[in-house]
Amino acid sequence: MIQTSSLQQYFLMILASTAVFLDYLDTSIVSIALPTISADLGIGSLTASWVMTSYLLALGSTLLLFGKLADRTGRDREIFIAGFVLFTVSSFLCGVSANIEVLIGFRVIQGIAAGMMVSTATMLITTRLPSGIRGMGMGVIATAGGIALALGPGLGGLVTEFISWHWIFFINVPIGVAAVILAVFLIPGSEIHSVAKQPFDCFGALLLALTLVSLLMGLELVLSDGWTLWVIVLFLIVPIFGYVFFRRELRHPDPVLSAKLFLNRTVMWASLSTLLVTLVYLGIVYLIPFYLTGSIQMSVAAAGLVMLLAPVSMALIGIPAGALSEKIGCMRLCNLAAVLMAGGLVFLVFSVVLSFLPLLFVGLLLLGLGMGLNEGPSMQRITLHCPRELQGSSGGLIFTVMNIGCILGVAVFSAAASLGSGGSDIYTDQGVIAACIAGIIAAVCAYLSSRLARDQILC
């Protein structure tokens, strides 16, 4: 472990969590501003959706790549700082963009920069914090990400309505500048590795990017366009690219994503559990505002306040959960998290059936507690079960899984709500109930996946 002082350790937690917070904030804050961006730039809603989609595609296709690069070179500090610099600059350029082509281009750069920051954030924690507070560090990172996802739409709405949509990008700039300055002076130097003898797996990296881009683009397009021929083709080529990538990684002497991760029982089942928990949480963050402003006829501001219940409860439990994992183990906390999320969804179902709003409040609190209990321990159990030389790859894997979970959450909950409502124009009470039932099934599967992980190392 790289030696650090107490001051450096706490600033490392702040910097790593800031990187994750900004990434997740920029994932969710843009969605509510898309109608305004569309009107201001004179484009259609479908074109405007690529402001969000382009970022997610760039992020999702580069997380594992930069994690591998950090493993290969040991330059996690340099990649992290370079990512923050690029993210800050591209955020400013997004804010001053005068047309949609330029905006989408800079969003792609911003997504690549986020991939650099986030893939190395967990590596900073695992290589520079002592084991006694490592769990707390993972808890801080996880809590920051979950709060950002839930706060994004509300904050974006306020900024867009009272200032300008440009400021949803400008707000990153002062935070980024401060973070870069702190990172340069407070993050200890990396343990630089000698240049690997084996050549970098460029074709493997290309196959990985093609697999993830095809999957993520397919998920995004099926939401906006339905099951068009282009969407069907994308979903058909995903398993083909994935299979070729998997076979190559098993044989390559220095793969982009090691077979040690593919074949590690704990890593794979814990990753699936994390994906499902993220799916449920994001699905609810997407769905419930429609119910509150539709069936309940709340104002947007009031609905935003109600939606704060989940991130508030998550913030209260997230950091203690990271520390608690050191005492009772990560698996038990992850199991409990899935149970709480299933219970929260049951409360949401009864709140809709009985038209009793306090039950919805309880449901949101339980969902926030579940997300807070899961994220830190799940990150830690995945990272600890990866070999030391694959710490960067494990960080990339974690956030790639969570990124896919975010998109799947919107896809699954919107599809279930549309089926239950008999159409996608308005989500009825029956549609909300159908989506919550789909979420309960996902939460149960998350619990089973977490149990199947069978941790070999106590967090």
Structure tokens at 264: 């590690």
| Residue 113: band (very low, low, confident or very high) from pLDDT cuts 50, 70, 90 | very high
pLDDT score of 6 more than 90: no
Question: Do the domain assignments include residue 196?
Answer: no
* Whole-number pLDDT of residue 301: 64
Residue 406 contacts residue 318 (beta carbons within 8 Å): no
pLDDT tens figures, 224-250: 677 788 888 888 998 998 888 888 877
pLDDT score of 293 more than 60: yes
Question: Do the domain assignments include residue 301?
Answer: yes
Structure tokens at 18: 């800031």
Question: Do the domain assignments include residue 197?
Answer: no
* Cα separation, 2 vs 209, whole angstroms: 32
Is 227 found in the same domain as 82? no
pLDDT tens figures, 73-90: 778 888 999 999 999 999
Is 356 found in the same domain as 232? no
Residue 295 contacts residue 429 (beta carbons within 8 Å): yes
454: three-class secondary structure by DSSP: coil
pLDDT tens figures, 435-453: 999 999 999 999 999 999 8
* Whole-number pLDDT of residue 197: 55
Where does residue 31 rank: exposed (0-12), middle (13-18), buried (19+ CB within 10 A)? middle
* Whole-number pLDDT of residue 49: 66
pLDDT score of 68 more than 70: yes
* Cα separation, 320 vs 13, whole angstroms: 14
Is 227 found in the same domain as 150? no
| Residue 425: band (very low, low, confident or very high) from pLDDT cuts 50, 70, 90 | low
Residue-range definition of the domain harbouring residue 232: 205-255
pLDDT score of 454 more than 70: yes
* Whole-number pLDDT of residue 194: 55
Question: Do the domain assignments include residue 200?
Answer: no
Question: Do the domain assignments include residue 12?
Answer: yes
* Whole-number pLDDT of residue 332: 86
Is 133 found in the same domain as 102? yes
CA angle 274, 410, 343 (to 5 degrees): 55
pLDDT tens figures, 167-210: 989 999 999 999 999 888 888 776 655 555 566 677 877 887 78
Which of 138, 167, 190 is where one domain is finished? 190
Least confident of 243-252, 295-304, 361-370, 389-398: 389-398
Cα-Cα-Cα-Cα torsion 86, 90, 91, 97, nearest 10 degrees, comes to: 170
Distance of CA 312 to the CA centre of its chain: 18
Is 247 found in the same domain as 133? no
Task: Report the share of the chain in percent with pLDDT over 70.
Answer: 85
* Cα separation, 51 vs 94, whole angstroms: 10
pLDDT score of 313 more than 80: yes
Is 411 found in the same domain as 270? yes
224: three-class secondary structure by DSSP: helix
Is 122 found in the same domain as 49? yes
* Cα separation, 349 vs 360, whole angstroms: 8
Question: Do the domain assignments include residue 378?
Answer: yes
Is 233 found in the same domain as 84? no
pLDDT score of 281 more than 60: yes
Provide the number of structural domains found in the chain.
3
Task: Report the share of the chain in percent with pLDDT over 90.
Answer: 21
pLDDT score of 44 more than 70: no
Nearest C-alpha neighbor of 380 from the set 315, 448, 328, 312 = 328
Secondary structure (H, E, C), 304-337: HHHCCHHHHHHHHHHHHHHHHHHHHCHHHHHHHH
Least confident of 233-247, 325-339, 380-394: 380-394
Is 413 found in the same domain as 447? yes
| Residue 359: band (very low, low, confident or very high) from pLDDT cuts 50, 70, 90 | very high
Which of 190, 224, 244 is where one domain is finished? 190
Which of 165, 190, 215 is where one domain is finished? 190
* Whole-number pLDDT of residue 221: 74
Residue 169 contacts residue 220 (beta carbons within 8 Å): no
Nearest C-alpha neighbor of 118 from the set 80, 153, 151 = 80
pLDDT score of 368 more than 70: yes
Is 406 found in the same domain as 445? yes
* Whole-number pLDDT of residue 185: 83
Question: Do the domain assignments include residue 413?
Answer: yes
Q: What is the CATH number of the domain that holds 335?
A: 1.20.1250.20
Is 310 found in the same domain as 248? no
Alpha helices in 98-171 (DSSP H): 100-128, 131-162, 167-170
Arithmetic mean of pLDDT over the chain: 81
Question: Do the domain assignments include residue 199?
Answer: no
Query: How much is the pTM?
Result: 0.74
* Whole-number pLDDT of residue 262: 66
- DSSP tag of 193: P
How far CA 300 is from CA of 25, 48, 91, 157, 289, in Å, comes to: 19, 22, 27, 9, 8
Is 275 found in the same domain as 212? no
